[in-house]
């Protein structure tokens, strides 16, 4: 039976009077920027008309939506006509793959074993519908074998969908090269760039992709608004069919206030690109270096170089990440053990497992993802509290060779047995 997830006690009962939060989970979602809220409010209070309405009250809203489209297009160096607003990154990913298989009539899709569940579970769904889906494996540092990717492209391949940066490890994939292989073979190429805006400069023309997904809540805009870039002249079949909104490419009345927020946030993150790559990168590097050099038996997951500047994922041997997160949470520190979309499952991360981490090391892994609102004091606070938490948990861990009682029995055998038990429990479940 799947063990149930521990229930975390709220630190404060009142919503308004929140204690200070030390937020290290910017890959899960980001704080909505005050500038973004300010830009949105008039579209909730005054300009609430339907952008499709022909009269002036609707028409002026439509003009603002088009302005926001221009701002989002500028973020990725696209033409505004190539931008379709969707409800989220998941919808954008699903839509790109759906469109490719419907318009090409081909039945094979290539993606990777380390994608967000938006692709993994959609791929599993397609398999059940009789499509063939290749989930490419990754190397121990989280990178892709491009030769294998090239070999996997077949005459019946409709689309290759590879993320631009991994949400758990921050590892960046060489999409420009992948898109070039795809072009050579006449196969469509999609990239999930949800984690990228504001961290790496985005340029769809330089990348050479046919489709690219974004989600506004990763760049200081609200949840529930996303975007799909569809390169001009690419055949497109909508997933959400309805009214003529988004030039007939996505039915449903526009989420106007959120679109306005998305546009404002696009400008904000372009302005902060330098800060992410200098100050935020420096905070991440200081955090990672200090943890790895002062807490023994701790490892970085994923390659060091080709990585988002804000993300570090570290394995703490002999502890369970869930216990670490629980104790951090009691101190107001937010971090995570994988994608927020898989929270609730105690299975080790599919990303870390695909990189070949043992279930035990994967279950002891924690992701810290920083952002423009993090400060030196935040990192100091985390660095003050994390080592004693790891030490405390290790002092009671039966798997820790330094535990005082562990002379009494064969610790290596106990660890091997624990790994086997975890692996068996997983295979029974699957
Ligand atoms: N792709 C990646 C890489 C993500 O990190 C996420 C969200 O965590 C998504 C897709 C899904 O985005 P959304 O939450 O907007 O559906």
Taking only the tens place, the pLDDT of each residue in 101-123 is 999 999 999 999 999 999 999 99
* Structure tokens that stand for 287 in this block: 């955090």
What tokens were used for 357?
């981490």
The H-or-E segment that residue 314 falls in is strand 311-316
The pLDDT of residue 2 is 43
pLDDT of 56-77, one tens digit each? Answer: 999 999 999 999 999 999 999 9
pLDDT of residue 222: 98
Question: What is the per-residue pLDDT for 426?
Answer: 58
Q: What is the rounded distance in angstroms from the CA atom of residue 122 to the CA atom of residue 341?
A: 14
Ramachandran quadrant class, 347 (left: phi over 0; alpha: psi -120 to 50; beta: rest): beta
pLDDT per position as a tens digit, 143-180: 999 999 999 999 999 999 999 999 999 999 999 999 99
Per-residue pLDDT at 398: 78
Whether the predicted pLDDT of 346 surpasses 80? no
In this prediction, residue 3 has a pLDDT band, given cuts at 50, 70 and 90, of: very low
Regarding the beta carbon of 338 and ligand 1, being less than 6 Å apart is answered no
> Are the CB atoms for 227 and 89 separated by under 8 Å?
no
The whole-number pLDDT of residue 399 equals 75
- pLDDT for 403 equals 63
Query: Of these residues, 88, 182, 334, 341, which one is catalytic?
Result: 341
Residue 427 has pLDDT above 90, yes or no: no
Q: Global pTM?
A: 0.91
Rounded to an integer, what distance in angstroms lies between the CA atom of residue 94 and that of residue 74? 23
Q: Which residue has the higher pLDDT, 294 or 418?
A: 294
Q: What is the pLDDT of residue 413?
A: 66
Helix (H/G/I), strand (E/B), else coil: 277: helix
Q: Tokens standing for 334?
A: 């937010």
DSSP string, 12-43: -S-SSSPPP-EE-BTTT--PPPHHHHHHHTHH
Share of the chain above pLDDT 70, in %: 87
The CA distance from 184 to 187, in Å, is 8
Least confident of 125-134, 296-305, 330-339, 398-407: 398-407
Tokens of 75: 């973020």
In 94-239, DSSP assigns E strands to: 108-112, 132-136, 157-161, 188-192, 211-215, 226-230
Q: What DSSP string describes 46-79? A: T----TT-SSHHHHHHHHHHHHHHHHHHHHHT--
The response to whether residue 348 sits with its C-beta less than 6 Å from ligand 1 reads no
More confident call, 340 vs 210: 210
Query: In residues, how long is the chain?
Result: 430
* Mean pLDDT calculated for residue range 308-330: 97
Query: 147's torsion region: left (phi>0), alpha (psi -120 to 50) or beta?
Result: alpha
Residue 167 Cβ < 6 Å to ligand 1: yes
**Cα–ligand 1 centroid distance for 337 (angstroms):** 15
Report the pLDDT value the prediction gives residue 418, as an integer from 0 to 100.
Answer: 64
Q: At what angle are helices 376-395 and 281-294 packed, to 10 degrees?
A: 30
Residues 139 and 166: beta-carbon distance below 8 Å: no
Q: What is the structure's pLDDT at 328? A: 98
pLDDT, tens digit (0-9, with 9 covering 90-100), for 179-222? 999 999 999 999 999 999 999 999 999 999 999 999 999 999 99
So what's the pLDDT on residue 7? 52
Q: How many CB atoms lie within 10 A of CB 27?
A: 28
User: What would the pLDDT profile of 371-414 be if each residue is shown by its tens digit?
Assistant: 999 999 999 999 999 999 999 999 998 777 766 665 555 556 66
Work out the average pLDDT over 7-32: 78
Reading the block at residue 315, the tokens are: 């394995």
Q: From the CA of 217, how far away is ligand 1's center (Å)?
A: 9
Determine the residue of 122, 167, 313, 369 to mutate for testing ligand 1's pocket, defined as the one with the most ligand atoms within 8 A of the Cβ atom. Answer: 167
Q: Is the CB of 163 under 6 A from ligand 1?
A: yes
Of all protein residues, whose CA lies closest to atom 7 belonging to ligand 1? Answer: 28
Distance CA 12, CA 17 (A): 7
pLDDT of residue 348: 87
Residue of 93, 118, 163, 169 best suited for mutating to test ligand 1, as the one with most atoms within 8 Å of CB: 118
Across 347-373, average pLDDT = 95
- Residue 430 has, within 13 A of its CA and on its CB side, a CA count of 8
Is the CB of 118 inside a 6 Å radius of any atom of ligand 1?
yes
Helices H / strands E in the chain, number of each: 17, 12
Write out 329-391 in H/E/C secondary structure: HHCCEECECCCHHHCCCCCCCHHHHHCCCCHHHHHCEEEEECCCCCCHHHHHHHHHHHHHHHH
Site to substitute for ligand 1 among 116, 190, 200, most atoms within 8 A of C-beta: 116
- CA-to-CA distance for 32 and 223, rounded, in angstroms? 9
Q: Quick one: pLDDT at residue 425? A: 60
Note the pLDDT of residue 1: 39
pLDDT value of residue 339: 55
Distance CA 206, CA 199 (A): 17
d(CA 166, CA 199): 13
Please say if 341 is a catalytic residue: yes
Average pLDDT, the chain: 92
* pLDDT at 326 > cutoff 80: yes
């Amino acid at each position: 039976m799947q063990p149930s997830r521990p229930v975390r006690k709220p630190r404060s009962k009142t919503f308004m009077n929140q204690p200070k939060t030390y937020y290290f989970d910017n890959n899960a979602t980001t704080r909505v920027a005050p500038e973004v809220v300010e830009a949105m409010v008039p579209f909730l209070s005054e300009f609430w008309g339907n952008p499709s309405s022909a009269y002036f009250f609707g028409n002026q809203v439509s003009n603002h939506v088009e302005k926001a489209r221009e701002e989002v297009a500028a973020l990725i160096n696209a033409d505004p006509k190539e931008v379709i607003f969707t409800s989220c990154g998941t919808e954008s990913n699903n839509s790109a793959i759906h469109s490719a298989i419907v318009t090409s009539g081909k039945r094979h899709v290539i993606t990777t074993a380390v994608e967000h569940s938006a692709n993994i579970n959609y791929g599993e769904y397609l398999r059940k519908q009789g499509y063939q889906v290749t989930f490419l494996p990754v190397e121990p540092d989280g990178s892709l074998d491009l030769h294998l990717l090239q070999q996997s492209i077949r005459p019946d391949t409709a689309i290759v969908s590879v993320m631009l940066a991994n949400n758990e490890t921050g590892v960046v994939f060489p999409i420009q090269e992948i898109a070039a292989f795809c072009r050579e073979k006449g196969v469509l190429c999609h990239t999930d760039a949800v984690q990228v805006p504001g961290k790496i400069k985005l340029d769809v023309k330089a990348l050479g992709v046919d489709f690219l997904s974004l989600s506004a809540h990763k760049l200081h805009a609200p949840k529930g608004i996303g975007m799909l870039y569809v390169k001009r002249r690419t055949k497109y079949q909508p997933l959400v069919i309805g009214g003529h909104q988004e030039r007939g490419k996505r039915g449903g009345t526009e989420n106007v206030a959120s679109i306005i927020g998305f546009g404002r946030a696009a400008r904000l993150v372009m302005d902060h690109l330098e800060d992410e790559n200098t100050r935020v990168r420096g905070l991440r590097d200081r955090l990672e270096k200090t943890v790895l050099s002062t807490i023994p038996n701790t490892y970085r997951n994923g390659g060091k170089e080709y990585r988002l500047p804000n993300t570090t994922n570290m394995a703490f041997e002999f502890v369970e990440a869930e216990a670490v997160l629980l104790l951090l949470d009691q101190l107001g520190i937010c971090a995570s053990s994988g994608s927020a979309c898989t929270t609730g499952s105690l299975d080790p991360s599919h990303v870390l497992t695909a990189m070949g981490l043992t279930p035990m090391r994967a279950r002891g892994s924690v992701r810290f993802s920083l952002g423009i609102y993090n400060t030196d004091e935040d990192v100091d606070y985390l660095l003050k509290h994390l080592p004693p938490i790891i030490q405390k948990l290790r002092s009671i861990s039966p798997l820790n060779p330094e535990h005082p009682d562990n002379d009494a029995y064969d610790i290596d055998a106990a660890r091997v047995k624990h790994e086997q038990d975890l692996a068996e429990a997983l295979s029974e479940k699957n």
